Structure 1
């Protein structure tokens, strides 16, 4: 049952990402449609400001700026009977300069574009903000399912024996089991109303989980939760609670009463951190309650592959490392986890830490599909070309997957691979069957 919760949680976050990816280009296209009418006005004003400033501009550069300014002015004069006034207010903030740009909206056409730019920027911000809130709602749902799963198996851990109920309350239940379930629901509801730090404390104390994988990202996760709370309860305006709860490294440049926002980069990072943290929490609880379950490695492997395809190296590194340390992970799943773990370390720029291990590895006793992955990590193109036909002939994978495997990305960019595609009979066949390392026969 816990495996289904993990799969559903992962799919919920993937679905949320897909939704953002679907809507985001449309909103940005609408923004660009109107913004392009304002950019020449802003550019003209900024160049004028630059030329009037006391900056030490090289004569050559000043001439280029002047020519560009004249061209912009000519284009604007052809477009407007009277060029709208643009004001640039400059503020010094230590080493940094801040600019506030205001366009006089005396021209109805300019006014329309300004309104639409503001509206579309607001829509984009709402998309990201609401997606952040939605991601945390998915997390809360998943966390509640994990707690139900645990307390249903260990009701004594929920402390229900110490709770009291009135006779009137008991009459509303058909059995003692129903009353027990009700008390567990009350307990979980109380937990969910707590903050993230209290969740972690409970997971350690009552569920006896280690949670060592949270140490490096704990401050980030707290900031994500506190930022969500600001949007839900305070309109996104920073209050004293946010400043007291969030570590200073996560709130640089943020002061009381500042209005926070969410951009795409922040949203992507937040979802990645939440996805990694809570899938690992689910996996650790699963391992604690069902230590002999071999399917854990395979399910985590499927989740890893889906995220590898989208270059989410941080998530995949954590899940692969967990599978490698899980003694019940099937040997085949462990080899897959090892290869993918090395790939993640390489992609995040930490290849030096695993280079000796990769060079020392001997996969000669393993299936060719795994040898292929090892050679790809080492960048041994000749060995890949030698073994690739064997992998395809024995149906260990097919052309579709060869074209998709993240680990073969560098190899696919080589001239040798392009020649292989032109000359190989495999690319002349229309193979439909898809076989991946995840479903290699487990001996």
Structure 2
């Protein structure tokens, strides 16, 4: 499928490839799914960079290394590495005194001055001032990791803004009459600059949406609620969501310090910070922020797809893609995010197989994060007696009833209901596969064929094949 021209390739009855134009519903569905995929992939890269920084924080924020670089730039000669390390240690010892020391402040100052004098004798003539200035600057410079994480937060919020902006454009194109009733007027001079009605319309939409997105997160959500009669995205009204956006504004406009606007926008919450307090961004905060922002985008995509896709076939495929997205989130170990989606999304309104994929992946997020007791009772009560073997297999595997799960899986494999590719890649069946390997080993059976399949099937193998069913889903 070519998203740009809205075409799709089909195979004709004699095997030839034909190109057909996507229906408006199909085009909207594709755009929404691609936007969500884009946001997920970019968030993964941002979180990967944060993790990368965690692993190298000591190296990146090494004051002695930073001082050496400055000395090298200024002197261009060989550097006394031991001298730099010793000078940094002298300053750090003075700035963070040993609490068990009996020295008075005056004695500490005398020791500090003596240490600096001793250092001067160890350096080449005329170099002490450069070494001293470089070390002081290096110690006073905020850690680089702080700048990077703050920048990553700005990027996370920017990704949400980009995705929500594009969702708005896609929704308006699908339902243009939502912008009727405005008071915007064009002069003849403005109209004469365009070559077609389509260009006028596109310019009109651009200006309206640009104006909306100069506002707050609440303004963005109000646009969708009012223009498309969507239910409110409750996640966007939480402290976590609003605070992330306000923290971004403080980083960009107020040197990362609490501003009066920050306190004003969050006044309905119990905020204990004061003006000019630093707003620290660590990796855990970034992870939580990414989860909150993705939840908002996911809820909005869900709501728009539900409201504007008229075709039940397209709508079913749309929700199947959203369910499959939860599988990719499992692969990325975004368990807290999946828990959020499980609380926010009306999973029970989905039809059986799509609902199963969604529910099982949410339950798995609790299981993989050692929090399965929260949903254990829900899984135990999940009645599969009148359901297909897919549901029976999922329940048995979730409850670690591996023997029953293995028997069900074997029968499904024999009947062709469960593909071997799904069996060897579905995360839900990891313990079942391990039980299978042990059973084969104990029975001295040859597991070479199964191992070969495991080696050749990629991680992107679909979770399940979802039959076409009617869906009617509203998102809170």
1:404-438 CA-to-partner distances (Å, cap 9, x unmatched) read 544346667x8x46623635644543113565442
Gaps of 5+ in 1: 39-75, 91-101
Match in the other structure for 2:19: none
Greater CA drift, 313-322 or 274-283: 313-322
Partner of 2:345: 322
Please point out which of 229, 244, 248 is paired with 2:249: 229
Given the alignment of the two structures, is residue 338 of structure 1 paired with residue 364 of structure 2, yes or no?
no
| SS in structure 1 of the partner of residue 90 of structure 2 | coil
Correspondences of 1:36-435 after superposition (within 5 Å): 84=90, 86-87=93-94, 106=116, 122-159=143-180, 162-211=183-232, 213-214=234-235, 218-247=238-267, 251-252=271-272, 254-291=273-310, 292=312, 293-317=315-339, 319=341, 322=345, 324-326=347-349, 329-344=350-365, 349=371, 351-352=373-374, 355=377, 358-362=380-384, 365-367=387-389, 369-392=390-413, 394=416, 396-398=418-420, 405-408=426-429, 416=435, 419-420=438-439, 422-423=441-442, 425-426=446-447, 428-429=449-450, 430-431=452-453, 432-433=456-457
Q: Partner residue of 1:44?
A: none
Distance 1:296 1:318, change over 3 A: farther
Q: What CA distance in whole angstroms lies between the structure 1 residues aligned with 2:466 and 2:420?
A: 13
1:166 CA displacement: 1.0
TM-score (norm 2): 0.68
Q: Is the 8 A contact 1:13 1:275 kept in 2?
A: yes
Task: Tell me how far apart the structure 2 counterparts of residues 36 and 125 of structure 1 sit (CA, whole Å).
Answer: 13
Structure-1 residue corresponding to 2:106? none
Q: Deviations over 1:53-75 (max 9, x none)?
A: xxxxxxxxxxxxxxxxxxxxxxx
1-structure distance, mates of 2:277, 2:420: 54
Residue-by-residue CA offset, 1:177-217 (whole Å, 9 max, x unaligned): 432321221110000000111122222222211125427x6
Per-residue CA deviation, residues 295-335 of structure 1 (Å, 9 max, x unaligned), is 12211012100112233234334545636244xx4532122
Distance 1:35 1:186, change over 3 A: closer
What CA distance in whole angstroms lies between the structure 1 residues aligned with 2:55 and 2:449?
39
Q: 1:335 to 1:267 in 2, by over 3 A?
A: same
1:349 and 1:132 mapped to 2: Cα distance? 28
Number of paired residues? 384
Structure 1 residues 371 and 113: CA distance shift in structure 2, 3 A? farther
RMSD after superposition: 4.0
Please give the secondary structure, in 2, of the residue aligned with 1:173. Answer: coil
User: What is the SS of the residue equivalent to 1:210?
Assistant: coil
TM-score, with length taken from structure 1: 0.72
Alignment counterpart, residue 2 of structure 1, candidates 18, 21, 28: 28
1:16 to 26, 38, 42: 42
Query: Is the Cα contact below 8 Å between 2:235 and 2:292 reproduced in 1?
Result: no
User: Higher relative contact order at CA 8 Å, sep ≥6: structure 1 or structure 2?
Assistant: 2
